[in-house]
């Protein structure tokens, strides 16, 4: 368990909070590129780390991310006119470019130089891999972009999408790195029979050994997590998960499946943007994969980024299904990789769970390790130590994975992890 003070340290992300300032040292996904479809398209409200912002794509197609509030009388820039390489406040016509410079102030006399003395807060932005990334920290501390593998792939090899989760970001990170729950939460009642003929390792072995042994290694980018289950008489089934500072996860995958990269970006202390990237480094996504991913819009409440399975409808819990079909009685929603089932658990804890009341066991080894790592990172940051991963983008060149390996193959040798493709050379 954590103390209440430690829990507050980890979960509070607003301006001036230790974890909030620590996260601001990293590049942060804030939008899909598709959210701003073209030059001079409609501005969008964006809330990240408790800050109310507005994003717009200017006449040249370049994205700006600025304070929501005009520095004149604090009217919202969301209502602004996106025109001629700037966003113009409709209250008195003050116009700002993507860097926050006031480029026109028609409400003042023509001879006035007042506009040269006024700026709106603006953050640097980059577009990579179908996402809009922002750096929200001090200008003199701006780090390189993370070198994620999928950045270098053609657009045809990846698909990105997002939704909102109604809880603190740490709860969602912890749900992702928890390999022990998959043998329960996501299981079907007929698995003990059907798993004997299954060819997919995940389906074949997850229910056969519901008490995996965990192997943890701290890394320059975060924590590498191995969960080992019994497989055949001479082998183990390994699920290898990655946590990458400050809020990225890569869940296990079969060798033939797409890479899974997720970013759990705090909107504020009590809600989170979930960005997911599915990418194949070896080939374009096929028609079936694209159809599945594109179907993700059907899992959202129309006009929102909220999942149709949510706390207002108890995640469509069906007690008859729970008795006869699957462990939870909650539909899987396969496009979202079980987000209805996972979301029911993480959001049922409350917006910010009180970790001082937990009772953790050996199956929580990964969660304990990530908490310790993040707490140490934030405390070191408070002492003036800049985050290592933020300033070394190359450490993000990693993968997750799964494998069936002979008993004699150890996990705790770096060479073996690299040989299995979990760390890219």
Backbone φ/ψ region at 85: left (φ over 0), alpha (ψ -120 to 50), beta: left
CB neighbourhood size of 237 (10 A): 23
Is 395 a domain residue?
Answer: yes
Q: Determine, yes or no, domain membership for 20.
A: no
Examine the domain organization and report whether 37 and 84 are in the same domain: yes
* 174 within some domain: yes
Same structural domain, 90 and 178: no
232 and 248 together in one domain: yes
| Model pLDDT, residue 333 | 63
For residue 369, the model assigns a pLDDT of: 96
Residues 155, 114, single domain; the answer is no
Q: What is the SS3 assignment for the chain?
A: CCCHHHHHHHHCCCCCCHHHHHHCCCEEEEEEHHHCCCCCCCCEEEEECCEEEEEEECCCCCEEEEECECCCCCCEHHHCEECCCCEECCCCCCEECCCCEEEECCCCCCCCCHHHHCECCEECEEEECCEEEEECCCHHHCCCCCCCHHHHCCHHHEEEEEEEECCCHHHHHHHHCCHHHHHCCCCECCHHHHCCCCCCHHHHHCCCCCCCEEEEEECCCEEEEEEEEECCCCEEEEEEEEEECCCEEECCCCCCCCEEEEEEEEEECCEEEEEEEEECCCCCCCHHHHHHHHHHHHHECCCCCEECCCHHHHHHCCHHHHHHCECCCCCCCHHHCCHHHHHHHHHHCCCCCCHHHCCCCHHHHHHHHHHHHHHHHHHHHHCCCCCCHHHCHHHHCECCEEEEEECCCCCCCHHHHHHCCCECC
Last residue of a domain, one of 89, 112, 141: 141
> Do 239 and 321 fall within a single domain?
yes
Query: Which residues 6+ apart lie within 8 Å of 20 measured at CB?
Result: 12, 13, 14, 49, 50, 266
Summarize pLDDT for 335-356 with one digit per residue, the tens: 555 578 999 999 999 999 999 9
Residues 116 and 169 in one domain: no
- Single out the residue in 141, 173, 207 at which a domain terminates: 141
Domain co-membership, 161 together with 82: no
How many domains are there within the chain?
2
Domain boundary among 78, 108, 141: 141
The parts of the chain modelled with pLDDT lower than 50 are: 413-425
What lies within 8 Å, CB to CB, of 52 at 6+ separation is 45, 67, 68, 69
Instruction: Tell me what pLDDT residue 131 has.
Output: 97
153 plus 136 within the same structural domain: no
Can you give the pLDDT at residue 416?
Answer: 46
pLDDT of residue 363: 92
In this structure, the answer to whether residues 287 and 410 fall within a common structural domain is: yes
Which domain CATH number covers 380?
A: 3.90.380.10
In the sheet that 63-67 helps form, which strands lie side by side, from edge to edge? 44-48, 51-57, 63-67, 122-123
**Are 114 and 161 in a shared domain?**
no
In a domain, 248, yes or no: yes
Per-residue pLDDT at 424: 47
- For residue 174 the two structure tokens come to 């912890």
Find out whether 25 and 390 touch, Cβ atoms under 8 Å: yes
267 within a domain of the structure (yes/no): yes
Residues 114 and 220 occupy one common structural domain: no
CATH of the domain at 105: 2.102.10.10
Is 384 inside any structural domain? yes
In a domain, 43, yes or no: yes
What is the extent of the structural domain holding 375? 149-419
Assigned domain for 424 exists:
no
How many degrees, rounded to 5, is the angle at CA 253 between CA 247 and CA 259? 60
Contact between 376 and 398 under an 8 Å Cβ cutoff? The reply is no
Quote the pTM value: 0.92
């Amino acid at each position: 368990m954590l103390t209440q003070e430690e829990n507050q340290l980890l979960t509070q992300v607003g301006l001036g909070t230790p974890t909030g300032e620590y996260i601001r040292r990293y590049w942060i996904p804030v939008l899909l590129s598709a959210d701003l479809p073209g030059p001079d398209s409609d501005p969008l409200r964006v809330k990240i780390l408790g800050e109310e912002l507005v994003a717009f794509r200017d006449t040249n197609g370049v994205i700006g991310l600025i304070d929501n509030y005009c520095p004149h009388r604090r009217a919202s820039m969301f209502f602004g006119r996106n025109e001629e390489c700037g966003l113009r406040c409709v209250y008195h016509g003050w116009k700002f470019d993507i860097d926050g410079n006031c480029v026109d102030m028609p409400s003042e006399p023509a001879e006035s130089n007042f506009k040269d003395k006024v700026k709106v807060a603006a953050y640097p932005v980059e577009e990579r891999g179908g996402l809009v990334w922002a750096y929200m920290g001090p200008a003199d501390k701006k780090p390189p972009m993370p070198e994620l593998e999928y950045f270098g792939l053609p657009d045809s090899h990846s698909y990105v999408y997002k939704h909102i989760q109604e809880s603190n970001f740490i709860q969602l990170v912890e749900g992702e790195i928890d390999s022990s729950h998959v043998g329960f939460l996501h299981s079907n009642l007929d698995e003990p029979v059907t798993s004997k003929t299954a060819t997919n390792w995940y389906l074949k072995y997850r229910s056969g050994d519901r008490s995996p042994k965990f192997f943890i290694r701290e890394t320059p980018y975060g924590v590498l997590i191995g969960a080992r289950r019994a497989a055949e008489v001479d082998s183990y089934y390994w699920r290898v998960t990655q946590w990458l500072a400050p809020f990225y996860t890569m869940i296990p995958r079969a060798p033939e499946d797409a890479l899974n990269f997720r970013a759990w970006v705090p909107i504020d202390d009590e809600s989170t943007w979930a960005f997911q990237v599915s990418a194949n480094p070896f080939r374009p996504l096929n028609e079936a994969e694209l159809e599945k991913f594109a179907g993700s819009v059907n899992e959202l409440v129309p006009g929102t980024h909220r999942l149709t399975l949510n706390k207002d409808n108890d995640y469509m819990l069906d007690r008859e299904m729970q008795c006869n079909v699957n462990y939870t009685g909650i539909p899987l929603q396969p496009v979202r990789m079980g987000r209805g089932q996972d979301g029911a658990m993480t959001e049922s804890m409350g917006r910010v769970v009180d970790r001082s009341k937990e009772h953790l066991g050996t199956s929580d080894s990964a969660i304990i390790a990530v908490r310790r790592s993040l707490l140490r990172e934030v405390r070191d940051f408070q002492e003036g130590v800049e985050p290592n991963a933020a300033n070394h983008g190359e450490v993000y060149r990693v993968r997750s994975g799964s494998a069936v390996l002979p008993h004699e193959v150890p996990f705790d040798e770096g060479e073996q992890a690299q040989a299995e493709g979990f760390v890219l050379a």
